[in-house]
Structure 1
Amino acid sequence: MSGQPPVDKRPVVLAVDDNQDNLELLTQILDLLGCECVGAVDGYAAISAAVDRHPDLIVLDICLPDIDGMEVVKRVQENPDIRHIPIVAVTALAKAEDRARILQAGCVEYLSKPFNIKDLETVIRQHLNSSQKLLIEF
């Protein structure tokens, strides 16, 4: 026995990407980090999942098939029950003006695809570190 209390709750992260391979990769990374991953493949599903699950963090693709990630950010911010959830953009939009626009819209971080797994880990840990403990180190 290590004497450590059992982990009560894994942090919940909503991963949103319309590409199934990207979503699966995010799910695997989040699982390795000790997070519970909730997946969504479009903007409407993302908003619904955020309202239903109140995740600790949202990892959001900006280019989505129905409403884009910018609209998802706007709708999350307009909802008083979920507007406190930090949103990290992970997107193929890689120009400096895209980054500025995405951060100005309300995302707390921005990573361009293809992202470095270590960078994603750092961002996730940064935004979950105060009240949540991730289970392993890479």
Structure 2
Amino acid sequence: MNMSLRCKKPLILAVDDNQDNLLLLEYQLPEIIDCVLITASDGETALSLIAERSPDLVLMDVLLPGIDGVEVISRLKRSSNANIPIIALTGLSKADAHDRLSQSGCDAYLCKPYDLKDLQTVIHRHLAYSHL
């Protein structure tokens, strides 16, 4: 295997309309994973970035202005980038989140406020398949 490919940092897209949540992820992620982080604050921008950059993983808020996170996930799972793992980070209750996100094709979800160790575990689990 080409060494430069194996050592490439994963590209993670974080999508949240709350700038404080994005800022928190910018500080938290480098502590749990060596990655390159890009961000979007709405569904339209997220879909554009996914098409342009093809991230290794997406951290998706569910409640977004315009196209909500569930619709973004549904569209992504029907696209040529359907293999990109999506982890929803949501403020919805566990019961509400489970049904909506399962139907959309989401790979995993964490309810806000989430534990940093749980975030680390789920990110590593889903990146392991694409970065062996």
Structure 1 vs Structure 2 CA RMSD:
1.7
Matches within 5 A, 1:1-138: 8-32=7-31, 33-80=33-80, 82-132=81-131
AA aligned to 1:63 is L
User: Taking structure 1 as the reference length, what is the TM-score of the superposition?
Assistant: 0.85
Q: Deviations over 1:76-120 (max 9, x none)?
A: 12212x111011110001141321221221111010001111100
1:29 Cα shift? 2.0
Partner SS state of residue 75, structure 1: helix
AA aligned to 2:83 is H
Partner SS state of residue 29, structure 2: helix
How many angstroms apart in 2 are the aligned matches of 1:15 and 1:111? 14
Q: Which runs of 5+ in 1 are unaligned?
A: 134-138
Q: Which runs of 5+ in 2 are unaligned?
A: none
1:124 Cα shift? 0.3
How many angstroms apart in 1 are the aligned matches of 2:55 and 2:106? 15
Preserved CA contact (<8 Å) 1:58 1:87: yes
Aligned identity (percent) is 46
When the two structures are aligned, how many residues end up with a matched partner? 128
Partner SS state of residue 87, structure 2: strand
How many angstroms apart in 2 are the aligned matches of 1:31 and 1:52? 23
Cα distance change, pair 130–71 in 1 and its aligned pair in 2 (3 A)? closer
Preserved CA contact (<8 Å) 2:60 2:88: yes
How many angstroms apart in 2 are the aligned matches of 1:131 and 1:109? 16
Partner SS state of residue 84, structure 2: coil
How many angstroms apart in 1 are the aligned matches of 2:130 and 2:107? 17
